[in-house]
Structure 1
Amino acid sequence: MGTRTLIVTNDFPPRPGGIQAFVHGLAARRPPGSVVVYAPRWKGCDEFDARQPYEVVRHPSSLMLPTRSVERTAASLVEDGGAVVFGAAAPLGLLAPALRRAGAARVVMLTHGHEASWARLPGARRLLRRIGEGADVVTYLGDYTYRSLAPLIPPGKLVRLAPGVDTAAFRRGAGGDAVRASLGLGTRPVAVCVSRLVPRKGQDALLRAWPLVLRRVPDAVLLLVGGGPERRALERTAAARRLRDSVVITGSVPWARLPAYYDAGDVFAMPCRSRLGGLDAEGLGIVYLEASATGLPVVAGASGGAGDAVREGETGLVVDGTSTAAVADAVAGLLSDPGRARAMGERGRAWIEEEWRWELVSDRFGELLTGAEAGGAGGRRQPP
């Protein structure tokens, strides 16, 4: 079977999140027993780890930093001549030289939105340069992250690798009727947002826009799926605006049930916006791709790399997430024109099947582990 691949990552289930799902998806699609994951502890991790077809070694706390103790543990897990994958390049990629000394023959580092944010800060830029020097391959999600990283990473190392979508799970008919029945939505037009409830994602913008949507689509429902620190504030806003009859906030939903909640919608909307002078921006937005796989048209915010997950005017619309009028017009326009919405959803599903299936991503990842990839920045024009 060859040497095992070591994946060192702060981002791993059962902790929720897009990066966590991405890294887990890569590990889960390798041959059984061919990887070992080193990740922090999280509530429920013992039960989760017992179900995996590979070994998971947990750090004692919920955060790993490039310290000597983390270095020693990671080095002890390296197999001579094997590959090491950093689930996020910053900051754990600083351990790469030590893991090479321990026997790693190849180092692959994944990047996400936060590395693009690091690239905007002088001190962090220096660290990213150091991190890139220790890698054989540094992956990027799309054009936004490429443009941020290209001035810092040595030539020839940047290769595109974006998350995949499980097209068997995310599809029309995945259980949306049952969700609608359980929530009492019936056949009302539904705009659904699946995401953590945090300021960048734009659920508050949807609530501000919702009265304008209701003027054009009076029986519409806004379905907010997910948990997070903004839940109470969103509930208060909905109550203050007397929107309780047209807004449903579900709280956290198990991952296995998420396809059914997407399927309950007619339009997917997450009008994210960049914050903190651009330091808090969307890296890609896997939820847009999952929505497209489910056959929904998407409304995305113009933040960071969100536009890389939407074909503007074909699979959805990209709007200014800070503009209440723009958000309302996009959502109401699609809800009030089911034919247009359906056509966008069909084009989105076809795009996902062509370029974003997990099978394609898994094959690409396997090439990166062995050095068989086409290589270089030319990867920008290759499928994810």
Structure 2
Amino acid sequence: MHKTLIVTNDFPPRPGGIQAFLHSMALRLDPSQVVVYASTWKRSREGVTATAAFDAEQPFPVVRDRATMLLPTPRVTKRAVSLLREHGCRSVWFGAAAPLGLMAPALRRAGAERIVATTHGHEAGWAQLPAARALLRRIGEGTDTLTYLGEYTRRRIAAALTPEAAARMVQLPPGVDEKTFHPGSGGAAVRERLGLSGRPVIVCVSRLVPRKGQDTLIEAMPRVLAEVPDAVLLIVGGGPYRADLEKLAASHGLTDAVRFTGPVPWEELPAHFGAGDVFAMPCRTRRGGLDVEGLGIVYLEASATGLPVVAGDSGGAPDAVLDGETGWVVPGGSPARTAERLTALLGDADLRARMGARGREWVEERWRWDLLAERLRALL
């Protein structure tokens, strides 16, 4: 692999799924062949201290820009070019293609021989807007490879590119640590601590925002309870939608049947997945297709834990499910269809076991971090 300059706004300690993806990939590359150029997370004293401590622990150099958001301005481009030359980098990996990929031509002129730009859900939104679509096309022309999460995002983004750039696209989704997410992850202890031992548990692990569909799960619970009276919905995570969700649960008289854990430390997430019998997140597309699920790594983490999944049909979420094998895809925003699938799974232990085992097998076959890191090394 060429020595690589990673240029990104999405890097820890800033929290988020893209940040975890980039960091996990970077750690699996040869540290002597990696340099990271990233934005500053927070300018507060706490943010600066946390960032400095994090950067010092990394096995590769992390160079922070003074800006909290990198944009392809002349100043930022000049700094990226300087770092490329200073460290002798011959490859560049843009952690998010838009908008940083617009710097690709300048880095090419400075000596970059390979330029890879990774797309996420927001580039699929860019592909729908005329001005952003034109910029995305320029990014495709300036890079050697645009990576994509799944078939949904590939189709949307490819439509904005030249045929040549579209033909160079390669799938590079986030991976799953199958050694961390596994059936023996500690779910029984979480159930006991929460007073849920012996009850059928539907678990949803996600940020609490309208797109994720926790409200659909709450609306589905009266139908579920009619078939499985002692079932409980365990909602794991924090976010701005929590107060609305709590009011919705109370309006349906579901105080005992819907439990909120609030935010959970990352190291405790595998056990919270394991606390469920079924994983469900019936996500839906909003804002005319601009607010859409890019992939949904939580479905794969649930599969690695041995749970069947019920996923919404938003964007690339179906790419993370083998419909009918590892779980089911339901129309986002449909409490009736969601309840139908949940009750079928809660009522059939053999079906849950078969789907959970197939999900675990699929993760091991296709979604392991080491397999995906090798793909990135080849691209670079």
* 1:48 alignment counterpart: 54
Amino acid at match of 1:72: K
* 1:116 alignment counterpart: 124
Amino acid at match of 1:99: L
Deviation, structure 1 residue 59:
2.6
How far apart in 2 are the matches of 1:218 and 1:76? 64
CA contact (8 A) 1:109 1:135 kept: yes
CA contact (8 A) 2:3 2:89 kept: no
CA contact (8 A) 1:80 1:105 kept: no
Once the two structures are superposed, residues 143-170 of structure 1 have per-residue CA deviations (whole angstroms, 9 ceiling, x without a partner) of: 1111112233342321111111100001
Amino acid at match of 2:212: K
How far apart in 2 are the matches of 1:363 and 1:269? 31
* 2:70 alignment counterpart: 64
* 2:365 alignment counterpart: 354
How far apart in 2 are the matches of 1:241 and 1:69? 55
* 2:80 alignment counterpart: 74
C-alpha RMSD over aligned residues: 1.5
Deviates further, 68-77 or 322-331: 68-77
Deviation, structure 1 residue 179:
1.2
Alignment TM-score, normalising by the size of structure 2: 0.93
**Segments ≥4 residues shifted beyond 4 Å:** none
Deviation, structure 1 residue 263:
0.8
How far apart in 1 are the matches of 2:68 and 2:247? 31
How far apart in 1 are the matches of 2:74 and 2:243? 40
CA contact (8 A) 2:187 2:275 kept: yes
Deviation, structure 1 residue 81:
5.0
How far apart in 2 are the matches of 1:296 and 1:363? 27
Deviation, structure 1 residue 31:
1.6
- The one of 50, 74, 86 equivalent to 2:94 is 86
How far apart in 2 are the matches of 1:286 and 1:263? 16
- List alignment gaps of at least 5 residues for structure 1: 370-384
Amino acid at match of 1:52: Q
Q: 1:240 to 1:61 in 2, by over 3 A?
A: farther
How far apart in 1 are the matches of 2:53 and 2:249? 37
Once the two structures are superposed, residues 114-155 of structure 1 have per-residue CA deviations (whole angstroms, 9 ceiling, x without a partner) of: 111111111111010011111011111111111112233342
* 1:274 alignment counterpart: 285
How far apart in 2 are the matches of 1:108 and 1:31? 17
How far apart in 2 are the matches of 1:112 and 1:27? 17
CA contact (8 A) 1:80 1:102 kept: no
* 2:259 alignment counterpart: 248
- The one of 93, 103, 112 equivalent to 1:95 is 103
Deviates further, 351-360 or 145-154: 145-154
How far apart in 2 are the matches of 1:207 and 1:262? 18
Q: 1:158 to 1:3 in 2, by over 3 A?
A: closer
How far apart in 2 are the matches of 1:217 and 1:125? 48
Between Structure 1 and Structure 2, how many residues are aligned? Answer: 368
How far apart in 1 are the matches of 2:51 and 2:26? 16
How far apart in 2 are the matches of 1:207 and 1:220? 12
* 1:228 alignment counterpart: 239
Deviates further, 76-85 or 179-188: 76-85
How far apart in 1 are the matches of 2:304 and 2:277? 13
State yes or no: 1:298 paired with 2:304.
no
Alignment TM-score, normalising by the size of structure 1: 0.92
Alignment of 1:54-203 (within 5 A): 54-78=60-84, 79-80=87-88, 82-154=90-162, 155=164, 156-203=167-214
* 2:3 alignment counterpart: 4
SS, match of residue 109 in structure 1:
strand
SS, match of residue 128 in structure 2:
coil
Q: 1:242 to 1:40 in 2, by over 3 A?
A: farther
SS, match of residue 33 in structure 1:
helix
How far apart in 2 are the matches of 1:250 and 1:179? 11
Deviation, structure 1 residue 328:
1.3
SS, match of residue 273 in structure 1:
coil
Once the two structures are superposed, residues 287-329 of structure 1 have per-residue CA deviations (whole angstroms, 9 ceiling, x without a partner) of: 1111111100000000111111100000010001111101111
Deviates further, 346-355 or 98-107: 98-107
State yes or no: 1:215 paired with 2:226.
yes
Once the two structures are superposed, residues 217-257 of structure 1 have per-residue CA deviations (whole angstroms, 9 ceiling, x without a partner) of: 11111111111111122122222322121212112112222
CA contact (8 A) 1:293 1:349 kept: yes
Amino acid at match of 1:133: E
How far apart in 1 are the matches of 2:247 and 2:207? 17
Amino acid at match of 1:104: A
Deviation, structure 1 residue 361:
0.4
CA contact (8 A) 2:4 2:89 kept: no
Deviates further, 70-79 or 322-331: 70-79
How far apart in 2 are the matches of 1:307 and 1:352? 15
CA contact (8 A) 1:81 1:105 kept: no
Deviates further, 316-325 or 14-23: 14-23
How far apart in 2 are the matches of 1:62 and 1:266? 41
Amino acid at match of 1:86: F
Once the two structures are superposed, residues 84-139 of structure 1 have per-residue CA deviations (whole angstroms, 9 ceiling, x without a partner) of: 10111001111111222332221000011111111111111101001111101111
SS, match of residue 281 in structure 1:
coil
Q: 1:83 to 1:190 in 2, by over 3 A?
A: same
Amino acid at match of 1:64: L
Deviation, structure 1 residue 214:
1.2
Deviates further, 127-136 or 233-242: 233-242
Deviation, structure 1 residue 3:
5.4
SS, match of residue 32 in structure 2:
coil
Q: 1:317 to 1:250 in 2, by over 3 A?
A: same
Once the two structures are superposed, residues 253-294 of structure 1 have per-residue CA deviations (whole angstroms, 9 ceiling, x without a partner) of: 122221111111110000000011111111111111111111
Q: 1:277 to 1:350 in 2, by over 3 A?
A: same
